């Protein structure tokens, strides 16, 4: 049995829609591990029943089934100790990065691009996504992303901790990227794959960092269908 990763995709199976899936696929690429990407869609929860989980990413690595981006990272570092580490030393700061990223970066991006994903889905998937996200936000997705150009400077300001760090070093992992980079990078891959909004146009160090990460596994992220902004 080979290695397989269930990833959330649009109607186009190459268009990976979500941050958590990017974290895991970049982690596998960092470990130089081949994988077959299995396109998964929102309403396909029955396909994940074998993993006892309702969300992706789910990794099948030989006999092992691992769900959740954090557990996948732990599995890869334990099972493949000779490949470059994803977490170097104490994992607690990586947890903090994930928490900051999820509550500030990813939540901010959601309020800017939430209405861009439904058009990339077929009818059934679109109906599920729109209803579940409008329930979550308590309003229409078009209202969530309304006046977004005017809100971009505030979002960019929220990235200041990352900007300051990347002004001094090439990646959050210092000289070479590690799992903290992949966590944040995944959040930027999501809008790149779904939205024409130029999120990072005026944020030089982060834009350059994202370009470096896009290039570090060229057969992977660089080839994903993107809006290129």
Summarize as ranges the residues that interact with ligand GSH (CB under 6 A): 8, 18-21, 42, 55-56, 67-69
Please report how close the Cβ of residue 164 comes to ligand GSH at its closest, in angstroms.
27
Please report how close the Cβ of residue 175 comes to ligand GSH at its closest, in angstroms.
27
Which residue number, 68 or 116, has a Cβ lying nearer to ligand GSH? 68
Which residue number, 170 or 224, has a Cβ lying nearer to ligand GSH? 224
Please report how close the Cβ of residue 142 comes to ligand GSH at its closest, in angstroms.
19
Q: Cβ-closest residue to ligand GSH?
A: 18
Fill in the DSSP letter of residue 51.
Answer: G
CA distances 112 to 43, 153, 191, Å, are 24, 12, 9
Bridge partners of 67? Answer: 58
Which residue number, 91 or 212, has a Cβ lying nearer to ligand GSH? 91
Nearest C-alpha neighbor of 89 from the set 190, 173, 176: 173
φ, ψ for residue 89, nearest 5 deg: 85, -145
φ, ψ for residue 136, nearest 5 deg: -65, -45
Please report how close the Cβ of residue 74 comes to ligand GSH at its closest, in angstroms.
12
């Amino acid at each position: 049995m080979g290695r397989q990763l269930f990833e959330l995709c649009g109607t186009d199976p190459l268009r990976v829609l979500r941050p958590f899936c990017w974290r895991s696929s970049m982690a596998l690429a960092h470990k130089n591990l081949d994988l077959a990407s299995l396109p998964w869609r929102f309403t396909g929860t029955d396909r994940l029943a074998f993993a006892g989980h309702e969300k992706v990413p789910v990794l099948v690595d030989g006999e092992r089934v691992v769900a959740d981006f954090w557990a996948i990272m732990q599995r890869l570092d334990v099972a493949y100790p000779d490949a470059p580490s994803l977490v170097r030393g104490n994992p607690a700061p990586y947890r903090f990065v994930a928490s900051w990223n999820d509550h500030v970066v990813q939540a901010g991006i959601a309020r800017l691009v939430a209405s861009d994903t439904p058009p990339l889905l077929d009818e059934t998937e679109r109906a599920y996504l729109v209803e579940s996200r409008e329930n979550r936000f308590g309003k229409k997705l078009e209202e969530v992303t309304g006046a977004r150009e005017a809100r971009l400077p505030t979002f960019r300001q929220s990235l200041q901790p990352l900007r300051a760090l990347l002004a001094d070093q090439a990646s959050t992992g210092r000289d070479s990227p590690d799992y903290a980079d992949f966590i944040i990078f995944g959040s930027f891959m999501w809008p790149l794959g779904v939205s024409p909004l130029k999120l990072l146009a005026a944020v030089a160090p982060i834009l350059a960092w994202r370009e470096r990460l896009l290039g570090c596994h060229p057969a992977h992220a660089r080839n994903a269908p993107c809006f290129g902004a």
